[in-house]
Amino acid sequence: MLKGAIHIHSTYSDGEFTLSELREELIAAGCSFACMTDHAEYFDDNRLRDYVQECEALSDDRFRFVPGLEFGCDQRMHVLGYGVTALTDTTNPQEVFRHIEASGGISVIAHPMDSMFEWIESFEELPLGIETWNSKYDGQYAPRPATFRLLGRLQERKPQMLAYYGIDFHWKKQFRGLLNEVDCDTNERDLLLAALAGGRYQARRSDVLLASSGCLSPELSDRFEAIQKRSSRLRQLTRKAKRLTARTGLKLPNAVKANLRRIF
């Protein structure tokens, strides 16, 4: 089993780490690979070529970057294209799924908002997976069980759909403890992508293991629900404090912001 991180951003889009810095940080965390998902709108053909070349230059048997993109779609939906480095002009999410899969990648709806669930269930074309835990969007302590239930309903139509677990890594002091353990002997790109597409992985957050199927026991679902409610209240209070300071013309010091990112 190889340990790695997925849903990662670098200075090629809106991340704070360069690729070189990310390599050192993730190796220190015990990772053998990272699936990059820098935002597609930051790229043209030349910058995309540089991105792919630098990912390759910084990859070896010890650690591998798998370059990919995150596509902004209609109604603020984001779609991850793991392993895809081909741009597209469409913002229709179902067309983006097709683009990603035609390019040999893995299509995953990133951190779907609750308000999107009904819309997603109306899609004729479904992606390979749903990001059921995004530790930046949902918080580091627990995912939203409702997202797992959404996946379960979609699996009734497309049983091969999978749960993906990403850290949506942007900031230097951000939580990075939700990692994936992939059933691979080596970190060769195609083998990693095949394992991630085939469900041959599990996610680990401390002592909690999460299956690629997205199946949660009732006990774990209840535990996540309770934790999520508590952490959501804290996040709401933080957002209110941020709005209040903005209205009064004050700004939170960068050091305070950075430490809040560690907490949430």
Q: Which two tokens stand for residue 30?
A: 């015990």
Does 201 lie in the same domain as 236? Answer: no
Q: How far apart are CA 118 and CA 130, in angstroms?
A: 14
Does 123 lie in the same domain as 15? Answer: yes
Q: How far apart are CA 57 and CA 55, in angstroms?
A: 6
pLDDT in tens, the chain (264 residues): 999 999 999 999 999 999 999 999 999 999 999 999 999 999 999 999 999 999 999 999 999 999 999 999 999 999 999 999 999 999 999 999 999 999 999 999 999 999 999 999 999 999 999 999 999 999 999 999 999 999 999 999 999 999 999 999 999 999 999 999 999 999 999 999 999 999 999 999 998 999 999 999 999 999 999 999 887 776 666 665 556 666 676 665 555 555 555 555
Does 246 lie in the same domain as 178? Answer: no
Does 155 lie in the same domain as 79? Answer: yes
Q: What is the CATH number of the domain that holds 180?
A: 3.20.20.140
Does 94 lie in the same domain as 16? Answer: yes
Residue after which a domain boundary falls, among 201, 216, 231: 216
Q: How far apart are CA 12 and CA 42, in angstroms?
A: 7
How many distinct structural domains can be found in the chain? 2
Domain holding 225, by residue range, is 220-263
Residue after which a domain boundary falls, among 194, 216, 238: 216
Identity of the residue numbered 190: D
pTM of the entire predicted model: 0.90
Sequence-ordered list of residues with C-beta below 8 angstroms from that of 63, at least 6 positions apart, any chain? 23, 26, 27, 31, 32, 33, 34, 187
Does 246 lie in the same domain as 124? Answer: no
Does 156 lie in the same domain as 96? Answer: yes
